[in-house]
């Protein structure tokens, strides 16, 4: 029972730290444009994240069964995977860099599973092409669900952000500046809500899936058999006819934990995205949020665990580029891109190391 509860605790710690990163990204623009105060934005993010988390389960299914072979995954593997992501998230948070919590989790899962399988590459699901006549995005594995979206989603954010902002410039060409600010100040509340909803639909499901799987494994293994009666809600006999169905209490707990993390430490990254990279006004915030939210929404429907960080950051870049290329602080962009590039290998390496230490200490096979 202790091991299972440890997995849940570590998963919630990861979700809390995720609040420093991804949820901060989802509200950065609406705070930076002064449409909402940080406290108001956090309430909006918590509410819309929860709503998004309750809709759809495709991303949870990908995380739980589409990236690594489950036979090589144990509670110790999950703990080491999450620790790898936590270490990297804290490091990048300290420097105010909006790296991807999504890819931190994926990298950690890959590294820990590879170590758990004692170097057996078959433990990693590289790619399963779609069935004959199906679309490419219906394939599964790291290639189709992680690598391709990792490249395509930032490009989509950049291009669509540029197009949306250019269109808004044309639309508002004859408007008074005050009219533009007032109109898009109101509209940005809705775009920020859309951003929070899409974030919850994509990101919030990842930790939920891990917690549910840990409790299911613990129940089947009998680890929770002697738990006190008041802890019976932890027992999960089945996840239903589909393996990606998550109990409501797990969804609510994860959403609230993420909101608490945002309230505690999200300002560092909000400052980088909303102030250092490009100066934002309500019309820019509306364009960036609408673009990023749409990228996340589509990806969630396709079961792709893409990065909120990548989506909102490149959307801001695209919006800033439509204003003028020198409106963007490219030195900041360069640091962010390096954080993106290093996230997967760094978290995989750290998680691999943690799992190997666990094996050497005799705590895992």
The pLDDT tens digits for 198-236 are: 988 887 778 887 887 778 777 777 777 777 788 788 887
| Per-residue pLDDT band at 31 (split at 50, 70, 90) | confident
Residue 24 has pLDDT above 80, yes or no: no
DSSP lists the bridge partners of residue 68 as: 124
- Look at 101-105, 217-221, 226-230, 314-318 and tell me which has the smallest mean pLDDT: 217-221
CB 182 within 8 A of CB 283: no
Residue 240 has pLDDT above 60, yes or no: no
Distance CA 18, CA 258 (A): 6
Give the pLDDT confidence score for residue 266 in this predicted structure. 58
Q: Coil, strand, or helix at residue 175?
A: coil
Give the pLDDT confidence score for residue 27 in this predicted structure. 74
- Look at 42-51, 285-294, 296-305 and tell me which has the smallest mean pLDDT: 42-51
State the residue range of the domain holding 110: 2-359
CB 137 within 8 A of CB 144: yes
Q: What is the mean pLDDT of residues 292-304?
A: 91
Q: Coil, strand, or helix at residue 333?
A: helix
Give the pLDDT confidence score for residue 339 in this predicted structure. 72
* Geometric angle at alpha carbon 128, from 123 and 131, rounded to 5°: 155
Instruction: Tell me if 169 is assigned to some domain.
Output: yes
CB 112 within 8 A of CB 352: yes
Residue 315 has pLDDT above 60, yes or no: yes
The pLDDT tens digits for 133-192 are: 777 777 788 998 998 998 899 899 999 999 999 999 999 988 999 999 999 999 999 998
Give the pLDDT confidence score for residue 211 in this predicted structure. 85
Q: Which residues contact 21 (CB under 8 A, 6 or more apart)?
A: 89, 92, 93, 98, 99, 100, 101, 269, 309
Give the pLDDT confidence score for residue 357 in this predicted structure. 96
Residue with tokens 């044309």: 170
Residue 94 token pair? 């300290």
Give the pLDDT confidence score for residue 271 in this predicted structure. 60
Crossing angle of the two packed helices 282-301 and 148-171, in degrees rounded to 10: 140
Q: Coil, strand, or helix at residue 85?
A: helix
DSSP lists the bridge partners of residue 128 as: 140
Give the pLDDT confidence score for residue 168 in this predicted structure. 95
> Which has the higher per-residue pLDDT, 124 or 137?
124
Sign, CA dihedral 139-112-13-231, equals: positive
> Which has the higher per-residue pLDDT, 68 or 260?
68
Distance CA 231, CA 47 (A): 27
Q: What is the mean pLDDT of residues 92-110?
A: 82
Report CA-CA distances (Å) from 66 to 202, 207, 353. 15, 15, 23
Give the pLDDT confidence score for residue 298 in this predicted structure. 93
Residue 62 token pair? 């990908």
Instruction: Tell me if 365 is assigned to some domain.
Output: no
27: Cα within 13 Å, side-chain hemisphere: 34
Residue 50 has pLDDT above 50, yes or no: yes
CB 197 within 8 A of CB 51: yes
Instruction: Tell me if 36 is assigned to some domain.
Output: yes
Distance CA 339, CA 73 (A): 27
DSSP state of 56: -
Instruction: Tell me if 49 is assigned to some domain.
Output: yes
Q: What is the mean pLDDT of the chain?
A: 83
Q: Which of 86, 93, 154, 89 is nearest to 306 (CA)?
A: 154
Instruction: Tell me if 351 is assigned to some domain.
Output: yes
| Per-residue pLDDT band at 21 (split at 50, 70, 90) | low
Give the pLDDT confidence score for residue 101 in this predicted structure. 79
Q: What is the mean pLDDT of residues 331-358?
A: 87
Distance CA 122, CA 106 (A): 17
334: Cα within 13 Å, side-chain hemisphere: 3
Instruction: Tell me if 24 is assigned to some domain.
Output: yes
Residue 260 has pLDDT above 60, yes or no: yes
Give the pLDDT confidence score for residue 241 in this predicted structure. 45
Instruction: Tell me if 364 is assigned to some domain.
Output: no
> Which has the higher per-residue pLDDT, 175 or 40?
175
CB 160 within 8 A of CB 291: yes
Give the pLDDT confidence score for residue 167 in this predicted structure. 95
Could you give the number of structural domains in the chain?
A: 1
């Amino acid at each position: 029972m202790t091991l299972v509860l440890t997995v849940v605790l570590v998963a919630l710690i990861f979700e809390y730290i995720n609040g420093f990163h991804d949820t901060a990204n989802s509200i950065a623009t609406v705070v930076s444009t002064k449409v909402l105060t940080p406290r108001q934005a956090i309430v909006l993010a918590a509410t819309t994240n929860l709503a998004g988390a309750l809709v759809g389960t495709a991303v949870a299914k990908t995380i739980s069964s589409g990236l690594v072979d489950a036979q090589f995954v144990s509670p110790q593997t999950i703990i080491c995977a999450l620790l790898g992501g936590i270490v990297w998230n804290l490091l990048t948070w300290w420097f105010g860099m909006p790296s991807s919590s999504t890819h931190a989790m994926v990298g950690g899962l890959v590294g820990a599973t590879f170590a758990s399988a004692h170097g057996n590459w078959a433990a990693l699901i590289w790619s399963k092409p779609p069935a004959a006549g199906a679309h490419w995005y219906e394939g599964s594995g790291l290639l189709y669900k992680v690598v391709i979206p990792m490249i395509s989603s930032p490009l989509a954010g950049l291009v669509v952000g540029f197009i949306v902002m250019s269109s808004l410039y044309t639309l508002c060409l004859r408007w008074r500046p005050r009219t533009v600010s007032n109109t898009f100040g109101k509209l940005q509340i809705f775009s920020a809500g859309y951003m929070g909803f899409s974030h919850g639909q994509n990101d919030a499901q990842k930790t939920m899936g891990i917690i549910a799987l840990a409790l299911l494994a613990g129940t089947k293994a009998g680890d929770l058999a002697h738990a006190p009666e008041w802890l019976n809600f932890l027992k999960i006999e089945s996840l239903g006819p589909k393996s990606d169905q998550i109990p409501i209490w797990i969804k609510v707990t994860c959403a609230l934990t993420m909101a608490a993390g945002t309230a505690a430490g999200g300002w560092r990254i909000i400052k980088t995205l909303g102030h250092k990279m490009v100066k934002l006004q309500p019309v820019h915030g509306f364009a960036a949020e609408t673009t990023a939210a749409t990228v996340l929404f589509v990806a969630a429907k396709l079961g792709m665990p893409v990065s909120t960080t990548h989506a909102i950051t490149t959307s801001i870049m695209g919006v800033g580029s439509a204003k003028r290329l020198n409106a963007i602080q490219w030195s900041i962009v360069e640091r962010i891109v390096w954080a993106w590039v290093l996230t997967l290998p760094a978290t995989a390496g750290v998680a691999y190391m943690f799992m190997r230490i666990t094996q050497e200490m005799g705590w895992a096979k």
